[in-house]
């Protein structure tokens, strides 16, 4: 699978993405992050209702060999977690921007959006 | 990322790994393939069919001369006089205090003069060779660093023997036996040993001929497998990994390797082990809920604390598995234990060896 970085997402330098829909954002990890980690075999989601803070870790994904912290690109309250990943964490590899989403968050500070990278800036970071 | 390639050693199969799309990583001073297609697929290919691992980073020491057997009997923990010509034997190399310097396979080679080949772990090879060489005084032996002479391929899995046999000019050796055969045109020392819990062989061959053997194995349908799968396979089979489950700080009795220590042979370290009552025991365990144990995770039991030495997600059992040193009273299979995985208590249970078997 070739590297892919959708135009409509916002990116965090720790290789996380956010899809903004009004005051709710979906978070996940980027193609680069899942490729570096290898096959994800375990996802430990946070609790619905928990608070996440921008630039802080809120979950862990693990491959056979390594653990990777997942950083919140934005602050807010978790309103949904992707329960399907408990049985099929490999979706994080096969569809990192679709079925491999991690959490949905009700944003607490819209001004943080400005700090995120657009796809061109994120690609520059990877280059 | 700065390239460390200049300082890392490459095996004779480096080009083959690159061509196969391997992810190459530094390992014990070598640039080694950690995976090709993916650790799960490679793991399952070995469990169901056959896989080939390049383990050329492992070292070899040749010991020859009239006193070779007496010398190795003094240095290795097992009874080397029980090692027949063409045989293979597992043993530990210990310090006087019983701390483990390495775990090793030794092969007694055929020939008029006594001749042994000992396979070392890559990270310990230089220390092992120095230790053996400095203890050779007083013995009529020649101890030679033979690591440059050999590439090593491990061909493992239920179909491994058939694949190697289809390329060989004679019958493969039985388990724990060796034979010199021509495989794909190359003279090879074939050993009925492995590190996966599957049937199979390990192949020692001159580095310049390794690619021919590799290519023929792949053409015969054997899957290239990396060090990541080697680790998950050996952990399911409960084989020790030096640096994780074995170290200078633990002796073979604690590690459950008393069977490979024949104290009456008087090997270096045997005095320290005589009458030793281990407070801790190395045990396999499996998680009974979510999570993946990792090396260094603290362990809590009803009888006291312990520590995880190896941990992974088992591709066959699909749960977290590992090995841990725990108080001896907690070593009985079925004993519930708790592993602290980065602050989260995870439920686990001591299991019998091996964790996975066909």
Residue B177 and residue B322 in one domain: no
Residue B68 and residue B50 in one domain: no
In the block, tokens 């997402």 appear at A9
Residues 51-110 on A with a CB inside 8 Å of B are 60, 62-65, 67, 86
In the predicted structure, residue A66 carries a pLDDT above the cut 90: no
In the block, tokens 């009795």 appear at B253
Confidence band, pLDDT 50/70/90 cuts, at residue A1: low
Residue B330 lies in a domain: yes
In the predicted structure, residue A87 carries a pLDDT above the cut 90: no
* Whole-prediction pTM: 0.92
In the block, tokens 């841990």 appear at B324
Please give the pLDDT value at position A62.
Answer: 94
Residue B156 and residue B42 in one domain: yes
Residues of chain A contacting residue B289, judged by C-beta atoms under 8 Å apart:
none
Give the pLDDT confidence of B208-231 residue by residue, as tens digits. 999 999 999 999 999 999 999 999
Q: Distance of CA B30 to CAs B9, B155, B187, Å? A: 5, 20, 25
Q: Distance of CA B171 to CAs B165, B190, B281, Å? A: 7, 10, 40
Using CB atoms, pick whichever of B232, B290, B342 lies closest to residue A64: B232
Residue B220 and residue B110 in one domain: no
Residue B76 and residue B201 in one domain: no
Residue B273 lies in a domain: no
Residues of chain B contacting residue A42, judged by C-beta atoms under 8 Å apart:
290-292, 313, 320
Residue B232 lies in a domain: yes
Residue B260 lies in a domain: no
In order, the DSSP letters of A33-45 are HHHHH-SEEEEE-
Please give the pLDDT value at position B3.
Answer: 52
Residues 26-45 on A with a CB inside 8 Å of B are 38-39, 41-42, 44
Residue B183 and residue B328 in one domain: no
Task: Work out the percent of chain A whose per-residue pLDDT is above 90.
Answer: 88
Question: In this structure, what CATH number is given to the domain that contains residue B31?
Answer: 3.30.1360.120
Residue B18 lies in a domain: yes
Rounded to a whole number, what is the distance in Å from the CA of B94 to chain A's nearest CA?
Answer: 29
Q: Do A67 and B342 touch (CB under 8 A)?
A: yes
**Are B159 and B49 a contacting pair, CB within 8 Å?**
yes
Which residues face A117 on adjacent strands?
Answer: A11
A87, two tokens: 């049985």
Residue B65 and residue B46 in one domain: no
Report residues of chain B scoring pLDDT below 50. Answer: 1-2, 4-5
Residue B88 and residue B155 in one domain: no
Parent domain of B133: 59-148
Please give the pLDDT value at position B358.
Answer: 74
Residue B154 lies in a domain: yes
Give the pLDDT confidence of A5-60 residue by residue, as tens digits. 999 999 999 999 999 999 999 999 999 999 999 889 999 899 999 999 999 999 99
Please give the pLDDT value at position B337.
Answer: 98
Residue B258 lies in a domain: no
How many domains in chain B? 3
Backbone φ/ψ region at A84: left (φ over 0), alpha (ψ -120 to 50), beta: alpha
Please give the pLDDT value at position B1.
Answer: 44
């Amino acid at each position: 699978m070739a590297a892919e970085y959708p135009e409509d997402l916002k990116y965090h330098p720790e290789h996380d993405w956010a899809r903004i829909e009004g005051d709710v954002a979906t978070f996940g990890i980027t193609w680069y992050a899942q490729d570096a980690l290898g096959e994800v075999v375990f996802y430990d989601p946070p609790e619905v209702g928990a608070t996440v803070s921008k630039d802080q870790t809120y979950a862990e994904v693990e491959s056979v060999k390594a653990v990777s912290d997942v950083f919140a690109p934005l602050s807010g309250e978790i309103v949904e977690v992707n329960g399907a990943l408990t049985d099929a964490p490999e979706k994080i590899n096969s569809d990192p921007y679709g079925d491999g989403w991690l959490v949905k968050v009700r944003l607490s500070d819209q001004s943080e959006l400005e700090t995120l990278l657009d796809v061109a800036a994120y690609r520059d970071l990877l280059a | 990322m700065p390239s460390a390639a200049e300082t890392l050693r490459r095996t004779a199969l480096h080009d083959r790994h690159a061509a196969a799309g391997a992810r190459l990583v530094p390992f014990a001073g070598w640039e080694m393939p950690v995976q090709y297609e993916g650790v799960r697929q490679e793991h399952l290919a070995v469990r169901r069919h056959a896989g080939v691992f390049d383990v050329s980073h492992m070292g070899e020491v040749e010991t020859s001369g009239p006193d070779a057997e007496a010398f190795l009997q003094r240095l290795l923990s097992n009874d080397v006089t029980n090692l027949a010509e063409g045989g293979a034997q597992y043993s530990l190399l210990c310090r006087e205090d019983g701390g483990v310097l390495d775990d090793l396979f030794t092969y007694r080679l055929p020939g008029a003069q006594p001749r042994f080949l000992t396979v070392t772990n890559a990270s310990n090879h230089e220390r092992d060779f120095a230790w053996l060489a400095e203890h050779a005084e007083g013995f009529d032996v020649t101890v030679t660093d033979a690591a440059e002479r050999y590439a090593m391929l491990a061909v493992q899995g239920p179909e491994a023997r058939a694949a190697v046999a289809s390329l060989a000019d004679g019958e493969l050796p039985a388990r724990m036996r060796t034979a010199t055969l021509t495989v794909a045109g190359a003279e090879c020392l074939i050993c009925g040993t492995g590190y996966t819990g599957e049937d199979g062989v390990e192949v020692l061959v001159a580095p310049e001929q390794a690619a021919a053997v590799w290519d023929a194995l792949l053409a015969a349908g054997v899957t290239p497998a990396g060090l990541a799968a080697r680790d998950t396979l050996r952990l399911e089979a409960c084989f020790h990994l030096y640096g994780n489950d074995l170290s200078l700080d633990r002796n073979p009795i604690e590690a459950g390797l008393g069977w490979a220590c024949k104290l009456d042979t008087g090997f270096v370290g045997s005095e320290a082990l005589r009458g030793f009552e281990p407070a801790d025991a190395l045990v396999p365990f499996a998680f009974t809920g979510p999570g993946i144990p990792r090396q260094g995770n603290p362990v809590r039991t009803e009888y006291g604390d312990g520590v995880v030495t190896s941990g992974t997600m088992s591709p066959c059992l699909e749960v977290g598995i590992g090995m841990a040193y725990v108080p001896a009273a907690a070593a009985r299979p079925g004993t519930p234990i708790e592993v602290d995985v980065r602050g989260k208590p995870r439920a686990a249970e001591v299991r019998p060896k091996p964790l996975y078997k066909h």
